[in-house]
Amino acid sequence: MSELGNYLKETREEKQITLDDLQRTTKIQKRYLAAIEEGNFDTLPGIFYARAFVKTYAEAIGLDADEVLETYKNELPNPQTEAVDLPSRSERVKTSARTAPSRPGKGRGKSLASILVPILLIAAVVLVVVLIWNISGRDSGGEVQNEQEAGQTDTYDPPENAGDEEGEGAADEDEADEDEAADEESGSEDEQTDKEPQLSLEETSGNVSTYILTNVEAIETLKIEMGEGSYVQVRDRDGQAMDENGGDYKDDFEPDVSGLDALELNIGNGYGVERVEVNGLEVELLETDHQYVTITVEEQE
């Protein structure tokens, strides 16, 4: 029997509390309570149950649970040793960025307008020059003929608004191109705004499920409906524990995860977890007792 188990058992017996009484109080099966007293943590559903069960046991017999965990921490198994190395989000983002096609339509209207405007202006200038040259040529021929016949010289004044008409036509076409480009860009923005948040399974490897959350800026909510005997630990993207729930089995577990761009769930007795939701979207759990779920926010290209 371990020192921790012996201490818990002696305290329980001093207060005349039986294992049956303790089972009713803590909702922990009697065989698991006996295993804790004997120091046989390997018989628990998973080693991460050790801290949660010992904490509940200590509180039920009137001890300071945090003091007990700190005093006998060397006897308790460390659940952090079960952490799974997952591919970093930056590597997946770099890969998707290299393979993602460029979005059609963006900037096409502006590029088209920047090409058409100079061409139309040059064409207008050339047309005016050709018209003036033709008119001047005809006038020169008429002057020679008139001088020969009547000895008089006529001059020709070109239309004052010829250039203005050409300029107005080019301006109208330029304005139409700009309107078309603005409509295309507005349509692209509206289409992007209408997109709904999506949660998709990227891959499953052993007891590890990797999900991608798109069309959102960050993770806002996490809700877990706990079942009897279930355990959930929430970690950040670096694998550091943020919160855990292993005692209030039938209460909803809603840890504060607002603003995170990634999180990991360490789930024990997965059959006892009734439902997991992130940002209101359901996460499909594996049909296994112990599993990990990773959720990462990615921008949709």
- pLDDT tens for residues 122-132? 988 888 877 88
- Measured distance CA(159)–CA(132) in Å, rounded: 10
Six token digits for residue 35: 């295993």
Q: Which long-range contacts (CB under 8 A, 24 or more apart) does 84-90 make?
A: 84/208, 84/292, 86/208, 86/210, 86/264, 86/294, 89/237, 89/261, 89/262, 89/296, 89/298
- The pLDDT of residue 97 is 42
What is the residue whose two structure tokens read 């303790």?
22
Task: Output phi, psi for 153, to 5 deg.
Answer: -115, 125
The set of residues, in sequence order, having a beta carbon less than 8 Å from that of 28 and lying 6+ positions away, is 22, 53, 56, 57, 229
Q: What per-residue confidence (pLDDT) applies to 34? A: 92
Measured CA to CA, the distance from residue 212 to residue 17 in angstroms comes to 49
SS3 69: helix
Distance separating alpha carbons of residues 290 and 299, to the nearest angstrom:
30
Q: What whole-number distance in Å separates Cα of residue 222 and Cα of residue 253?
A: 8
The CA-based diameter of the chain, rounded to the nearest angstrom, is 143
Q: Which residues of the chain register pLDDT less than 50?
A: 82-97, 99-106, 144, 146, 150-156, 162, 192-193
The pLDDT value recorded for residue 83 is 44
